Amino acid sequence: MTAQIIDGKAFAAKVREKVAAHVARLKDDHGITPGLAVVLVGEDPASQVYVRNKGKQTIECGMSSFEHKLPADTAQEDLLELLDRLNADPEIHGILVQLPLPSHLDEELIVNRVDPDKDVDGFHISNVGRLATGQKSMVPCTPLGCLMMLRNQLGSLSGKEAVVIGRSNIVGKPMAQLLLGDSCTVTIAHSRTRDLAQVVRRADIVVAAVGRPRMVPGEWIKPGATVIDVGINRIEAPEKGANEDGSVKMRLVGDVDFDSAAQVAGAITPVPGGVGPMTIACLLANTLTACCRANGVAEPEGLTA
């Protein structure tokens, strides 16, 4: 069998189109423009790229983008004060604090200072609790993107055996909650799981969120299973030659060994071009959802859990 490749880039473009169409209607019918504030503390180069991309795509969807770039030595009180102002600002419907934060800042305290209704990352403790108890919540972007792709691929997920590898608060745990919400039989595997190969072999749906390059080989995959590879790992790619400074070029691979898994799976997401592009698309979708809820306007269908 050769798996169907799930094109996350194309799917994310469709999600963004849907968001943009709804944003245009919100403006025309209600005079409301959704606004997203992104807070970046420090100069981490990867975070700067993410924040730039988020701002660009927010504007392309017709929403307002507010960027707050703070120096690495920002005092905690000053950051909390900024969040309080953003929480109170009616033009801002979504707030995202780019993680990781410099080590002198208390990440838990800061994440929980964001108004849960504006918490478009879905990391606030009350959104975590709402998701776990099946209430309306803001859903973390990466697992939400995975859920959208799975529903699009498989239709109903009810009764399917799902194995999530990884138990982080950002991906693994919320992913498992979402799959449970869609009536899958869910197993969460992690670094202490015994005989992971055997656990993965029973899965109709495999979501790999570990951060170990190509650790899931094709021989672990049940024939016909749907495989969602969340992992982003940078490995050396000597086949691409050397950089100008003589260092080896790098490339991205997932947690799944794509070549062997694609021989067995029914469908699989590539890395890059799978889950990654869906994450920002879901951030935009969450901002729109938060704006609709704040204004008592009907939410667009299919953009949340």
List the one residue from 34, 116, 276, 300 that touches ligand NAD (CB under 6 A): 276
Say which residues have a Cβ less than 8 Å from residue 168's Cβ, sequence separation at least 6.
Answer: 209
In the bound state with ligand NAD, the residue whose beta carbon lies nearer, of 213 and 297, is: 213
In the bound state with ligand NAD, the residue whose beta carbon lies nearer, of 76 and 168, is: 168
Q: Which DSSP string do the residues of 1-50 spell out, in sequence order?
A: --PEE--HHHHHHHHHHHHHHHHHHHHHHH----EEEEEEES--HHHHHH
Regarding 279 and contact with ligand NAD (CB under 6 A), the answer is: yes
What's the rounded Cα separation, in Å, for the pair 11 and 267? 14
Regarding 4 and contact with ligand NAD (CB under 6 A), the answer is: no
Q: For residue 184, give the nearest of 200, 162, 204, 201 by alpha carbon.
A: 162
Residue 30 tokens, joined: 């209600």
* Minimum CB–partner distance for residue 256 and ligand NAD (Å): 11
Regarding 120 and contact with ligand NAD (CB under 6 A), the answer is: no
x-marked contacts with ligand NAD along 149-188 as a string, rule CB under 6 A = ----------------xxxx-xxx----------------
* Minimum CB–partner distance for residue 71 and ligand NAD (Å): 26
For residue 244, the surrounding DSSP H or E stretch is none
DSSP 8-state symbol, 256? B
195-254 residues near ligand NAD, rule: CB under 6 A: 196, 209-212, 230-233
Q: What are phi and psi of 276, to 5 degrees?
A: -50, -55
Say which residues have a Cβ less than 8 Å from residue 117's Cβ, sequence separation at least 6.
Answer: 138, 290, 293, 294
Regarding 148 and contact with ligand NAD (CB under 6 A), the answer is: no
Q: Which residue is nearest to ligand NAD (CB)?
A: 168
Position 46, amino acid: A
Choose the binding region for ligand NAD from 32-40, 58-66, 191-199, 244-252 (rule: CB under 6 A). Answer: 191-199
Position 20, amino acid: A
Active site residues: 54, 98, 121
In the bound state with ligand NAD, the residue whose beta carbon lies nearer, of 62 and 276, is: 276
Residues found near ligand NAD in the complex (CB under 6 A)? 142, 165-168, 170-172, 189-191, 193, 196, 209-212, 230-233, 275-276, 279
